[in-house]
Amino acid sequence: MNPSRQEEATSSGLVEKFLSELGSKRYSQWDLEKLTSNFSESNKIGSGGYGDVYQGQFPGGLQVAVKVLEAKDVVEEIFFAEISTMGKVYHRNLVKLYGYCFEHKMKALVYEYMENGSLDNILYENHHSGVDWETLYSIAVQTARGLLYLHDGWDERIIHYDIKAGNVLLDKNFCSRITDFGLAKLMKRDITRVPLTRTRGTVGYNAPETWLPGSHVTYKCDVYSFGMMLFEILGKRSNGECENWFP
């Protein structure tokens, strides 16, 4: 075996070992096609910078959300960031990961389905949809609890890097769950800062220290992003760039 093939085989073996240790269920592309009616457009419930999300249903009736990652150069980085964090932790204010698909032609994640969609739809597209201030306050507090767990409730800290209204999902009772861990990084608790390999986050939300690759950041960059989200809830308008940027 030539060196390049040997390296590829070794890498493949390490990936399979890592996936087998997660405990999350593994699905084939065929399995996910059955769940989502072959990824029909009528089942598409969202899309983002790294892929589309489809509503699906298990034979027993359980509703799920299937996130299919786009075939980009960072697809494996995004995939492993999601499962290495969500496959290990559990909290009522974090979205639950049911399983994944890791095949040559498809990388996908299977999450619990959230009936009321994302917070940004409630705030802007539906103009609060009759949601009262007490409920919005509860959503903010629950999101803070999920963020506190990521930062201080586990043996390692997790930096999310992309806290925003679009990454807060709401169930049928408007209980919130943080989602989208594709940019997340694990951080040893005895390390105060981690180097930033590339710009992370969403414009308007990301803290100043995350704007330039090569800088060093702490978990507090998530606190900054959460603060921007609170301004959005209070101001009833979207954060953005230039004159629309809250600061």
Of the candidates 31, 52, 162, 180, the residue annotated as catalytic is: 162
Residue 26, SS3 per DSSP: strand
Strand segments, DSSP code E, in the chain are 25-26, 44-48, 51-57, 63-69, 97-103, 106-112, 157-159, 168-170, 176-178, 185-187, 194-195, 216-217
Q: Residue 158 has which token pair?
A: 């997790």
DSSP per-residue string spanning 95-122: PPEEEEEEETTEEEEEEE--TT-BHHII
106 in Cβ contact with 76 (< 8 Å) = no
Q: Known binder of ligand: residue 67?
A: yes
Active-site annotation holds for 162: yes
């299977």: which residue's tokens? 110
Name the residue among 61, 54, 51 with its Cα closest to residue 33.
54
Q: List the binding residues for ATP.
A: 67
Positions annotated as catalytic residues are 162
Q: List the binding residues.
A: 67
